[in-house]
Amino acid sequence: MPVTLVSILKGRSSGEKRALMAAVQGAIADTLKLPPQDRNLRLSVHDAEEWLLPEGKSDRYVLVEIALFAGRTPETKGGLYAAIVAALEGLGVDRGDVFIRVIEQPRENFGIRGGQRADLVQLGYEVKV
């Protein structure tokens, strides 16, 4: 179960925010072959004075941080990055304004479905894709 944080600067409409979240979540679910209900995504919106963006980035910059179970192949992660960038590009975000960070952790580091260790739970999907 990925836990995703999408960070942006203020200035986008409610519709744009929902579209950004849906685009990122859709790319994650499609690439990692997750069931639709397996989602946990937050949007963090910042004032310009609260965030020192990398040099040369625009006010449309998007930072996507995904904590997930360890086990995906480098090829799957590469496909995930490409899918997220393509989805955001479809919303008018320049490819150069997207930064993605994946934080992999062992399944036992996640407490899910009522506080159970994730390594002891049948997930209903394959992690090693």
Q: Which residue range(s) make up the domain with 74?
A: 3-120
Answer whether residue 13 is part of any domain.
yes
User: Per-residue pLDDT for the chain (129 aa), expressed as one digit of tens each?
Assistant: 799 999 999 999 999 999 999 999 999 999 999 988 889 999 999 999 999 999 999 999 999 999 999 999 999 999 999 999 999 999 999 999 999 999 999 999 989 999 999 999 998 888 888
Answer whether residue 125 is part of any domain.
no
Alpha-carbon span 11 to 34, nearest angstrom: 31
Answer whether residue 74 is part of any domain.
yes
pLDDT of residue 65: 98
Nearest Cα neighbor of 102 from 128, 124, 76, 126 is 76
Answer whether residue 127 is part of any domain.
no
Query: pTM value?
Result: 0.94
**Which CATH number goes with the domain that contains 60?**
3.30.429.10
Number of domains forming the structure of the chain: 1
